[in-house]
Every structure is written in structure tokens, then in C-alpha cells.
Amino acid sequence: MNLRKSIISAYYSSIGFISLFLILCTSTFSSAQKIIRYPYIQLAQSTSVLIRYRTDQAITSEISLSTDGKSFSPSIKSTSAQTEHSLPLNSLLPSTKYYYRVHLGDKEIVGDSSYFFKTAPSIGSKEKISIFSVGDMAAGDTQKKVYNAYLNYQKNNYTNIFLSLGDNVYCGGSDACWQDEFFNPYHTGRLLRQSALYPSVGNHDYDNQPFPYQQDEPNMAYFQNFTLPSKGELGGVPSTSEAYYSFDYGNAHFVCLDSYAWGKDNFRIFDQVNNIQLNWLKEDLKATKQDWKVVYFHYPVYTKGTYDSDVNGEIIKLRDYLTRVFDEYGVDLVMSGHSHVYERSRPLKGQYGLSSEFSPEKNWPFNSSGRYDGTDKSCAYVINNSDPSKKGTTYVVNGCGGQTAAHRFNWPHPVMEFSLDKRGGSMAVDIENNRLDAKFIDEDGAVIDQFTIFKEVNKVIKQTINAYDAIELKASWPAPANSYIWSTGDKSEKINLRPLKSSTYTVTDSQKCLQDQYEITVNPPLGTTNWEELISQPFDSLQIFDLLGRPWKSIQKEGVVDQHIMDGIPSGQYILEYHYQGKRFTLKLTH
């Protein structure tokens, strides 16, 4: 009897051990199926992107893609188990929306309808791109309010690029700090999972590093957490450093600088004229052929907020070196942080010294706020690359993405058109063709400041045509529908005409700040012909218009003029245009 009890006891003990073993194994496997840093987008170009994320345990992962959000196909799978996942997606189409799902092992972990990205437009494309720019974030209520205010402003419109202006974290620069103050807050919402992230590094991002602070320190969380275009793989000159780099997106060229740490030559960018980073900047700006040039970095070159650019020695040297380069190579927009306020200049040139040396007549090419909102003296800034007197760089200080403070110095800086302290906010920048719009959105969602820049508008165009020829006239700037004012009374971006005599046409914007002029010379008309004289004339295509250019008949195939060609057309005078054997013929007819 005792032997039987012993056998039964041993049996159940073994069953219990096996069950415990299975539970532990299942628990261990289950815990591996967990993303602890959600996906974020890097190295976005027209045919590829890189998606990064982190798991709590090493495991293989896979990303599947769909263009309709319904039918997903496997795109790439990691080749080994890992916790830091960095998967490139290649052979994509430009300007295309892709939904994506992340699989760990055989389980789909993330992939609701908010997980998508859009590939970049082809390089040089004029289509619209939208940018979210913010600096000095720090975790807290202000950071959340600023971020949510931008998302509410943007509504369902896509944000192509997320630019950070440095001091991304304030809790010491460790990896855990980055998780708490950057990745967790910005994963709430949609930008990290959808928009290409291009950060710049600030002084606080180096906080857990030994002095002197070295760029590209492999043990520094900033350089571990991001994959940045140091090899020129997104356009631009290779920098061989992830502390500073450049990239092309659409028709814009972006340059990120490190304004704080020491480079491989043991110099900071402002230590001497001949240093690696400054020389690279000059080479890169000289090489780009893009329509727009945007530079961003942490330290501002002009500020009277929580720092004084007339007193801080590093900023004084930074301004002296960088602003000359920006003037020489035609940089359009410079964005910085560090000073926990918002400040925005008019386009500026030649202001290399202290604020006391500033001269509006000399350093401001434009007598306008640039707000472009119909208020007094608010016309947009019009940059003309062929006219040095109409060129300049707009400087923005946006160091209030989470950290805010009152100004402490001789406020405002005289180069600034608009200044605001004690208020959090971010900047929304849109670039479309030859137009740039920027808006500062405060923590409550109000657009507090804005400016618009146009390039190469206010054109005078001269053209000669033959009488009765059709001509299309198009305004040289993009604008909302029906906001154009033509001398013909039309309101669309482009119009089609058949002028009967030499004429001048104009188009203006709704604010009456811009005007294109078209001087059309019309060659003398041909003599009038009776249509019967054209019978038996062969053609490859034929069109008939009245004298106002309105079409009455169109034949887009080979044929021969016959006695029915004018059937259904009232008596009067018309323009007949036909193509035959590669030539075009235009005649005035009487019917």
C-alpha cells in the first residue's frame, strides 16, 4: 500500500514539474513577443525607407507591406534574432502610401491603419511636402500640449518630415532617458510611425558623456538610436558623421549641423575657420542644385531669449562663421533651438556682428512682415536669385517644444520680426514648388506667427504667336483654387486664349502682392478663305473654333475635308486648324 502511494505521488510530482516547465517556457516565449520601442521611420527616399524598432528579447522579425491597407505581402525579414531591429524596405514607388505590419516570430504585433508612410517624391519634384519642426522638448505637459496642438492643426494631412532642433531630452542623455522623454511621448500620436525622422543633436543630448564631448561617440544613446544619412545616400555630400549630415527631399535640400561637440579633428564648428564640419558645409551647399536650402541645428545665431547672442562667446563665433556661409550659398531658412522662446527674423543678409550693428536699411531686403495675411505691410517675401538685393536668410529660434521661459535680456533682438516668450509651440513648414509657408503653432493650437516666401515670381513673359493660335498662360506661383485674379476676369491658375491682336495680360494674387505680366505679340492674320476652297484637303487632325476660341468641331483622326465639314455649325467666321504631315495650318474661314 505504501509502495502504491509512493508511485502515485511520484507520478503527480512529475506531472507538476512538466506543467511548470511548460508554463515557464510559454511565459518566456510570450514575453519575447513584445515591442518595447515602437516603429520609427529613417532614411526616407523615393524608392526606399528604413524602419527601426526594439523588442525586449532577441527574435527574428518581418515587415509586410500594402498599398491599399488590405492585401499585405511580405517585404523583408531579419536574418537573425535581435533586439534592435533595423529593416530596409527597397524597390518602392515614389510618392506612394504604404501600410505596414510588423511580425515577431509568427505573430503580427503592430499594424493598424495608422501604421503607414509615404515615400519621398522624386528628387526635384515640385509637389508639396510638410515638415514638423520642434526643439528643446523635454517630457511634461507642455511637450504633450505642443505635440497635440500640431496634430490637431495638421488634421488628416500627412507630415513628410519630423525635424528636431536638439536638446531632445533633459534627463541625462541615457537610453532610458530617450525612451521616457522622446520615444514614448512621440509614439503617442502618429508622427514617429509615419514621418521620416531627422534629428539634430543638442548640448543636453551629450549630458551623460565625458568632457570633451565627441561627435559619433559609439556608446552615446543619440548615435545608437538613429540611422542618419552620413554617406550621402539621400543626396548631398557625404559627411562621414551622423552628428551632421544632409539630404534631399522633393525640391528641397536639408542640412543638419552639430553646433556643440568636437569633431574628428578635435574642433567644434566655431573653433576656427578651417575645420572639418564647416568645410563640409560649404562643399555641400555649393554642390546642391535644389530649389530650397534649409539648415537646422541647436545653437541659435541670433537670440535675446534665455541666452544672449551678443554675450555668449560660442554663439558670437558661430554667427560670425555660419551666417557668412549662409549668405554666400543662398540658404533660405535656418531653424534652431536652445533659447527657450520663439523668435523669427525677416530675410536677413550681412548681419555678422552684434545687435547694435544691425541696420534695417542694410540688412533687411524687405519692408514687410511676411505674414501674407492681408494685414498692413504683410506681403510675402519674394526671393530673386538673379537680384542680390532681393535675397536673404530667414532665421527661426524655436526652443520651446517643451521647455519655456521668460526672456532675460534686451528683448527683442532687433533682427526679429516677431518674438514670443513663456509659450510653448512648434513650427509647421510647407514647401510646394516655389512657395514656402511657415506657421508657429502655440501649445493651445493658435497660429501666433506665420510667413511666406516665394521664389522667381513677378515675371514678365514675352511671347510671339500666329493669329488665332491657342496659348496657355499660367501663374508662376501655387495658391488655393480661385485665388488668382486675371485681367480677363478668370480666377484659375492657368487660362487658355486665342488672341486676335497683340495684347498684355496680367495675373495677381488675392493679396495683390504678386503679379505676372504676359506680353503677347500676335502676327498678322491670314486672309479669309471660303471653306469650300478646302474641300479634298487631307488632314491628320482638324479643329474648328469661333473667334472667341470656343471649339465647335474636333476630328482627331486622319480624314479629308468634304462638303459636310461645317454641318451643324452656324453661319459666321471661324478658325480652322489642321495638322498634316507634321505641319500645322491655321486659316480663317467664312461659313
For domain 120-455, the CATH class is alpha beta
* C-alpha closest to that of 247 among 231, 236, 256: 236
* C-alpha closest to that of 328 among 388, 272, 277, 381: 388
200 or 18: which carries more pLDDT confidence? 200
25, 96, 337, 451 from 162: Cα distances, Å: 41, 18, 15, 20
Residue 11 has pLDDT above 70, yes or no: no
Write out pLDDT tens, residues 570-585: 999 888 889 999 988 8
CA dist., res. 318 & res. 143, Å (int): 28
The mean-pLDDT minimum among 144-153, 324-333, 475-484, 574-583 falls in: 574-583
283, 533, 589 from 578: Cα distances, Å: 53, 15, 13
- Work out the average pLDDT over 487-515: 94
Residue 248 has pLDDT above 70, yes or no: yes
Write out pLDDT tens, residues 458-482: 999 999 988 778 899 999 999 999 9
CA dist., res. 430 & res. 434, Å (int): 11
Residue 4 has pLDDT above 50, yes or no: no
User: Are the C-beta atoms of residues 358 and 351 closer than 8 Å to each other?
Assistant: yes
Paired with 86 in beta bridges are: 52
Looking at 3-150, which runs of residues are DSSP E strands? 35-42, 49-59, 61-66, 73-77, 82-89, 97-104, 107-110, 116-118, 129-134
Say whether 222 sits in a helix, a strand or coil. helix
Q: Which residues of 68-89 are buried (b: 16+ CB within 10 A; e: fewer)?
A: eeeebeebeeeeeeeeebebeb
206 or 111: which carries more pLDDT confidence? 206
35-116 against 528-590: fold identical = yes
Write out pLDDT tens, residues 376-431: 999 999 999 888 889 999 999 999 999 999 999 999 999 999 999 999 999 999 99
Q: Give the architecture-level CATH label for domain 35-116.
A: Sandwich (2.60)
272, 534, 544, 567, 575 from 563: Cα distances, Å: 85, 9, 15, 8, 17
Fold of 528-590: Immunoglobulin-like (2.60.40)
Write out pLDDT tens, residues 278-311: 999 999 999 999 999 999 999 999 999 999 999 9
Average pLDDT, the chain: 92
Count helices and strands in the chain by DSSP H and E runs: 9, 35
Reported pTM: 0.87
Which of the four pLDDT bands, split at 50, 70 and 90, describes residue 588? confident
Domain ranges of the chain: 35-116, 120-455, 460-522, 528-590
Q: Vertex 211, ends 210 and 213: CA angle to 5°? A: 90
Which of the four pLDDT bands, split at 50, 70 and 90, describes residue 526? low
Which of the four pLDDT bands, split at 50, 70 and 90, describes residue 525? low
- Work out the average pLDDT over 476-492: 95
Residue 271 has pLDDT above 90, yes or no: yes
Residue 341 has pLDDT above 60, yes or no: yes
Write out pLDDT tens, residues 208-234: 899 999 999 999 999 999 999 999 999
Preceding amide of 199 cis, omega within 30? no
- Work out the average pLDDT over 529-548: 87
Say whether 439 sits in a helix, a strand or coil. strand
Q: Report the percent of the chain where pLDDT is more than 70.
A: 94
